[in-house]
């Protein structure tokens, strides 16, 4: 049971500023994308019984929390992030009874279950939205309805209330003939934004959240929760709409302006989150709240996650997975390690005194990190770089999130044709950017191979059978999306027997988070910030009563060093100094190899490499000082 594997951090150790320390301060979360995890009925879609059947695998991995992407009833326009009924399970995934069984079986193994919560928007098939199409209905003001632009005929090009573009392509406004007005949708036109300015909307959301917690769910990951408060003028009007005193922003090359500056981290964000905490979480224990936070700075993360402010436990920030971006995610410039260092350093330093941070490189919206920043050109480089990137992330201070298949080093799928893609964003943006002449068809296909969300959504690779064990080889339906051809090489069955596998390495990283207080809560300090190849930092724990350092002091320290490249690298000067390499021969004497806490090369090789001041390709280790 994972709860028994994880030590309780004593209150003398500082985590997020709360007393006692929260249970999740040395926990690890595993994200499941249900439609791609395990199919038990042969329809080509993963389901809740499939997740239940794999709980022993997750418990053996050592994770503490399972986060489920949405399994609510949905038309599946955006793979379940368009919810039509918050209090029912979509038949694709099973039933409420299946959900109850999953909760019971997970809890029996010491695993908590967190549900994805999508309340910035609903499906346009939700009963709330259907009722709001009638101006005389009590739900009429539950969404952002606006009339056509003055002097334009409703429903015609250019009549949209302002020039905002949807993140999924096209206008952010959709005309509804029944109501005779437009509704705002930052994402798909089937995902209308809820009007959180209306207190009745908020009360309905809180009732639903309490219903799930009472049923046994252990918390929520809140999708784009920092978009719920919109910036409006003194008259309550959105920018660029009607006689608003605020401009809607500059028009981009695709013909639209971005709603993000006006919809992210709005003026009532803190008020809404604090109200949610009061109405839903006060008086409850053992839950976890994490918010997806587009538009949030590290400084704002500190405020929102400060336990004294009673908003959320942690947030997902995105600046570290967006470095190198050009004018859009589809025209990215070459990635540089310095940008990652700068972003993660900002996140770490912002919460060094109060608050907390989430640690992630992969999720259902990101390409596979081993293909993005690592090296999947050969099997040797894939394994080394997958371990190196994992060690880098997990040795930071915060709560690590593992996305399904990440623990295997799963790669991008590299589809060859557009008809292989299923992601709404990828398909829409392909057409919008190629038709506008922003990118050629060839360039857009290369962009999809590198950055499309579908790279993360191919079936979980359990074994080398026809469909990678995701569904039976004889199943009547193929998986909803193509299986990665490298399933024969990268799969759970193969790695379970290999103590040198990426999977085995993740087990060690998770165990360290559970058992080593320096890894869980030590202070974080960057080394050699300007080095273009090596990412290094020191973790330090100053508390008494938790065991002294090797030198007999009351301080425990470790240094983390990662060569983030497929070339050899020299140890940079600050890292050399911290390791004591100025003492001739000392680094390989005595217990130096024993001080290697974890590494992706043999400890003896790490010690030898330190003596010569060099790092092998993708060499990564944590070394106790």
Annotated catalytic residues are 223, 292
Q: Which residues of 449-476 are buried (b: 16+ CB within 10 A; e: fewer)?
A: bbbbbbbbbbbbbbbebbbbbbbeeebe
- Looking up tokens 């839903």, which residue turns up? 280
Which ranges constitute the DSSP H helices of 250-366?
A: 260-263, 269-276, 298-305, 337-350
Q: Which two tokens stand for residue 592?
A: 């130096």
**Which sign, positive or negative, has the C-alpha torsion 190, 196, 199, 204?**
positive
| DSSP code, position 482 | P
In the three-class reduction of DSSP (H, G, I as helix; E, B as strand; rest coil), residue 363 is classed as coil
Q: Is the sign of the CA dihedral 274, 280, 284, 289 positive or negative?
A: negative
- Positive or negative CA dihedral for 16, 22, 25, 30? negative
Closest CA to 413 of 318, 316, 479, 507: 479
Rounded to the nearest angstrom, the gap between the alpha carbon of residue 492 and the centroid of all alpha carbons in its chain is 22
CA angle, 612 then 618 then 622, to 5°:
70
166: left (phi over 0), alpha (psi -120 to 50) or beta: beta
Nearest-10 crossing angle of helices 441-451, 424-435: 150
Structure tokens at 418: 């557009």
Which residue in 212, 221, 204, 231 sits closest to 118, CA to CA? 221
- The secondary structure of residue 107, as a DSSP letter, is H
- Residues 462, 469 contacting (CB under 8 angstroms): yes
By the 10 Å C-beta count (0-12 exposed, 13-18 middle, 19+ buried), 549 is classed as middle
- d(Cα 376, Cα 519) in Å, to the nearest integer? 28
Helix (H, G, I), strand (E, B) or coil at 250: coil
């Amino acid at each position: 049971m994972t709860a028994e594997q994880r030590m309780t951090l004593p209150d003398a150790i500082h985590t997020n500023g709360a007393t006692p320390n929260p249970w999740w301060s040395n926990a690890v979360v595993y994200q499941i994308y249900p439609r791609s995890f395990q199919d038990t009925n042969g329809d080509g879609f993963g389901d809740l019984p499939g997740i239940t059947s794999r709980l022993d695998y997750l418990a053996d991995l050592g994770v503490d929390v399972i986060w489920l992407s949405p399994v609510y009833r949905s038309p599946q326009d955006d793979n379940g992030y368009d919810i039509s009924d918050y209090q029912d399970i979509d038949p694709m995934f099973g039933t409420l009874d299946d959900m109850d069984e999953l909760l019971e079986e997970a809890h029996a193994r010491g695993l908590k279950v967190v549900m994805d919560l999508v309340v910035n928007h609903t499906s346009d098939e939700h009963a709330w939205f259907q009722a709001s199409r009638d101006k005389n209905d009590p739900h009429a003001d539950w969404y952002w309805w606006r009339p056509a632009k003055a002097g334009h005929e409703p429903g015609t090009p250019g009549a949209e209330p302002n020039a905002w573009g949807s993140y999924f392509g096209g206008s952010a406004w959709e005309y509804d003939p029944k109501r005779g007005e437009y509704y705002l949708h930052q994402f798909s036109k089937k995902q209308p934004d809820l009007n959180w300015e209306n207190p009745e909307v908020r009360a309905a959301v809180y009732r639903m959240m309490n219903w799930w917690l009472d049923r046994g769910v252990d918390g929520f990951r809140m999708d784009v929760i920092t978009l719920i408060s919109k910036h409006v003028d003194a008259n309550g009007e959105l920018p660029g709409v009607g006689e608003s005193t605020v401009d809607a922003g500059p028009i981009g090359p695709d013909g639209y302006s971005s709603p993000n500056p006006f919809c992210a981290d709005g003026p009532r964000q803190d008020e809404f989150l604090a109200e949610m905490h009061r109405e839903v979480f006060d008086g409850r224990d053992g839950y976890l709240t994490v918010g997806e936070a587009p538009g949030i700075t590290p400084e704002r993360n500190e405020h929102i996650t400060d336990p004294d402010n009673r908003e959320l436990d942690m947030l997902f920030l995105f600046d570290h997975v967006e470095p190198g971006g050009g004018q859009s995610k589809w025209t990215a410039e070459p990635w540089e390690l310095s940008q990652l260092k700068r972003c993660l350093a900002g996140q770490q330093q912002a919460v060094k005194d109060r608050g907390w941070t989430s640690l992630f490189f992969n999720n259902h919206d990101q390409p596979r990190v081993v293909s993005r920043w690592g090296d999947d050109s050969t099997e040797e480089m894939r394994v080394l770089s997958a371990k190196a990137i994992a060690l880098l992330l997990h040795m930071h201070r915060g709560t690590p999130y593992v996305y399904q298949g990440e623990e295997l080093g799963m790669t991008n799928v590299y589809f060859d044709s557009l008809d292989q893609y299923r992601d709404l964003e990828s398909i829409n943006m392909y057409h919008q950017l190629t038709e506008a002449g922003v990118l050629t068809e060839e360039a857009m296909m290369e962009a999809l191979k590198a950055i499309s969300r579908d790279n993360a959504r191919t079936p979980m690779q359990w074994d080398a059978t026809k469909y990678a064990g995701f569904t039976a080889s004889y199943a009547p339906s193929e998986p909803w999306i193509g299986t990665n051809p490298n399933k024969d090489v990268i799969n759970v069955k193969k790695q379970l027997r290999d103590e040198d596998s990426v999977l085995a390495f993740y087990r060690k990283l998770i165990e360290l988070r559970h058992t080593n207080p320096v890894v869980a809560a030590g202070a974080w300090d960057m080394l050699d910030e300007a080095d273009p190849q090596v990412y290094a930092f020191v973790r330090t724990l100053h508390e008494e009563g938790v065991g002294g350092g090797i030198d007999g002091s009351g301080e425990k320290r470790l240094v983390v060093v990662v060569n983030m490249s497929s070339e050899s690298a020299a140890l940079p000067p600050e890292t050399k100094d911290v390791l004591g390499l100025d003492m001739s021969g000392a680094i390989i004497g005595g217990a130096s190899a024993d001080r290697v806490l974890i590494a992706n090369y043999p400890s003896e090789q790490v010690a030898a490499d330190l003596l010569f001041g060099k790092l092998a390709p993708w060499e990564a280790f944590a070394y106790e000082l």
